[in-house]
Amino acid sequence: MKSNIKKFFFTKMLVGIAAIAMLSSCVNDQSSKKYKDAVDIPVNQEMIAELTSPPFVPTPVGKRMAKKLIVDLEIQEREGEMTSGVKYIYWTFGGTVPGSFIRTRVGDEIEFHLKNHPDNKLPHNIDLHAVNGPGGGAESSFVAPGHEKVFSFKVLNPGLYVYHCATAPVGMHIANGMYGLILVEPEGGLEPVDKEYYIMQGDFYTEGKYGERGLQAFDMQKAIDENADYVVFNGHVGAMTGDNAITANVGETVRLFVGNGGPNLVSSFHVIGEIFDKVYVEGGDLVNDNVQTTLIPAGGAAIVEFKVEVPGTFILVDHSIFRAFNKGALGMLKVGGEENEKVFAGEIHDGIYLPEGSVIQSMPSLDRNKEKEEVKALSFEEKMKFGKDKYMATCVACHQGNGQGIPNAFPPLANSDYLNADVDRAIDIVLHGLSGEITVNGKKYNSVMTAQALSDQDVANVLTYVYNSWGNNKTDVTPEMVEAVRNK
């Protein structure tokens, strides 16, 4: 894999850097001289800042001196996909949510170019929490569509900081995705690690319910009520699952730069099956060791580090758990490499921690008859299409894109003996959820599936899609079958 080459290269680079540092310690006035005040750190040379889209981060600063760093960021208002079949107009710093990652070191002088694309409808600005100055730069950077503003500042405090738009109505600009992270590394840089990634949580508010198809408008009332339809990592459902999962190899140390754009919700960031060896609490200097879940405030960040000892898929969640399984706050870290029986023997089932134990809480479905007329799936082809959309919106996180499930955590739906044995049981599970131990294709699973609040037509569509994919028995599930189970 690529990472091996990378690692080799990295080690070489470190040796190289160390050698250079030793050679040049007498020449290099910066590393030999300690500045009491970061304001006094001189800058030499200009450099265009490398900006990256999530989940990637720019090259570490290492031992480089403070420089004049040119940051060139373009604001784009553009349509994206919140989840399969659901479109949303995102407002972005650099075309992605979260915006481009900015990596600096203490003493850098940042010359910030904020460009507002002429196609945009709205003025915007940027408030960087790393700035010492009024509004974090918000006032100096207020820029009309088709214009560019330039302002500059010196970064004085090391840490991981949020940046966001602060144009009225501020809440709306943030709710539409206008946030990102800027890292200020200390003198000499952060300790080198094997893998670094960029993750940012955000909450979204749409006119339609979770998964409702079509272009969804922002819903101001829900935002004010703090009633989020989507809580996601990196801007949309599935941004970090399946093929988009982040990766590492056994034995590597992983560092995650985790931010929370909000606008409203606080994140209880947790990686299922891992303990954070180190957490830079709130992105500052304080280091806490051996942490299970770290709290990241809205408009705040944290740096977490952990070594991965065993292979498998590790699931990143906001441990306000309904957000993870019903609103999208779920990502994956896939670790490849050799099993390590000492660390994890595999006979102990990796269960999902759920405070209520095995009680399943079903969503009250009042007013079922008053529900909005849904698009009726007429033909089998349409049922498959709508079923797939629904699957990609609600099931894919656990059961995966090809129904393969996740070993030891979520059972497969592909070639599934358990599924093909009893269609009514399958319908019942979708309607009412399931917990307790089951055996699927000879492997035991013991986790929790919550009841899904879907209409009869939706359940029929999604199950028809599942039964007619991945080598299952091609059952065609009808709304009537679902209704019969519901009324049992």
Partner 1 sequence: MKYYSTALFLLLSLFCKLSAQNDKMAMVEGGVYLPLYGAEGKTVKVEPFLMDVHPVTNADYLKFVQENPKWKKSNVKSLFADKSYLSKWTDDTTFTGLKDAPVNNVSWFAAKNYCECQGKRLPTMDEWEYAAMANENVPDARKIKAYNQYILNWYETPKTFNQPVGSTFKNYYGIYDLHGLVWEWTQDFNTVLISGESRKDVDKDANLFCGSAAIGASDLMNYAAFMRYAFRGSMKARYSSQNLGFRCAKDIEN
Q: Binding site: residue ranges? A: 124, 129, 164-165, 173, 178, 319
CB of 256 to partner 1, least distance (A): 30
Measured between alpha carbons, how far is 394 from 408 in angstroms, rounded to an integer? 20
Task: Give the Å distances, CA to CA, from 322 to 177, 178, 254, 407, 451.
Answer: 21, 24, 26, 21, 11
Q: For residue 131, how many other CB atoms are within 10 A of its CB?
A: 24
Among 71, 82, 138, 271, binds partner 1 (CB under 8 A): 138
Which is nearer to partner 1, 142 or 306 (by Cβ)?
142
Nearer residue to partner 1 within complex by CB, 89 or 453: 89
Which one of residues 5, 36, 37, 79 is an interface residue with partner 1 (CB under 8 A)?
A: 79
Q: Which of the 8 DSSP states describes residue 192?
A: P
Q: Is 123 in the site for partner 1 (CB under 8 A)?
A: yes
Q: Is 371 a residue that touches partner 1 (CB under 8 A)?
A: no
Which positions make up the binding site for Cu cation? 124, 129, 164-165, 173, 178, 319
Supply 171's token pair: 């809440």
- Region of 387 on the Ramachandran plot (φ > 0 left; ψ -120 to 50 alpha; else beta): alpha
By the rule CB under 8 A, 80 interacts with partner 1: no
Which residue, 116 or 241, is less far from partner 1 as judged by CB? 116
Q: The tokens of 394 are what?
A: 């609600």
When asked if residue 78 is in the footprint of partner 1 (CB under 8 A), the reply is yes
**Residue type for position 434:** L
Helix ranges restricted to H, 320-411? 321-326, 380-394, 396-399
359 phi-psi bin (left φ>0, alpha ψ -120 to 50, beta other): beta
Beta bridge partners of 335: 248, 312
Q: Which residues contact 58 (CB under 8 A, 6 or more apart)?
A: 49, 50, 51, 52, 101, 102, 103
- The minimum distance between CB 143 and partner 1, in angstroms, equals 7
1 binds partner 1 (CB under 8 A): no
Contact stretch for partner 1 (CB under 8 A) within 11-19, 151-159, 220-228, 388-396: 220-228
Q: Is residue 118 at the binding interface for partner 1, with CB under 8 A as the rule?
A: yes
* Nearest alpha-carbon partner for 182 in 99, 96, 305, 306: 99
In the complex, minimum distance from the CB of residue 169 to partner 1, in angstroms, rounded to a whole number: 5
Asked whether position 139 contacts partner 1 by CB under 8 A, the answer is yes
Residue 220 as a binder of partner 1 (CB under 8 A): the answer is yes
Sort 2 into a burial class: Cβ within 10 Å, 0-12 / 13-18 / 19+: exposed
- The reply to whether 4 sits near partner 1 by the rule CB under 8 A is no
CB contact at 8 A, 448 and 360: yes
- Pick the binder of partner 1 from 141, 264, 326, 408 (CB under 8 A): 141
Q: How many residues bind partner 1 (CB under 8 A)?
A: 35
Give whichever of 80 and 407 is closer to partner 1, judged by the CB atom. Answer: 80
Rg (CA), the chain: 25
Site for partner 1 in 142-171 (CB under 8 A): 142-147, 166-170
Nearer to partner 1, 16 or 146 (CB): 146
Q: Kindly tell me which residue out of 130, 172, 265, 463 binds partner 1, with binding defined by CB under 8 A.
A: 172
Q: Which stretch binds partner 1 (CB under 8 A): 71-79, 261-269, 274-282, 469-477?
A: 71-79
Q: Which is nearer to partner 1, 216 or 260 (CB)?
A: 216
Q: Which of 43, 122, 250, 354 binds partner 1 (CB under 8 A)?
A: 122
Per rule CB under 8 A, is residue 372 in the interface with partner 1? no
Look at residues 273, 288, 287 and name the one whose alpha carbon lies nearest to residue 186. 287
Residue 307 DSSP class? E
Residues that bind partner 1 (CB under 8 A): 77-79, 89, 118-123, 125, 134-135, 138-139, 141-147, 166-170, 172, 176, 207, 217-218, 220-221, 224
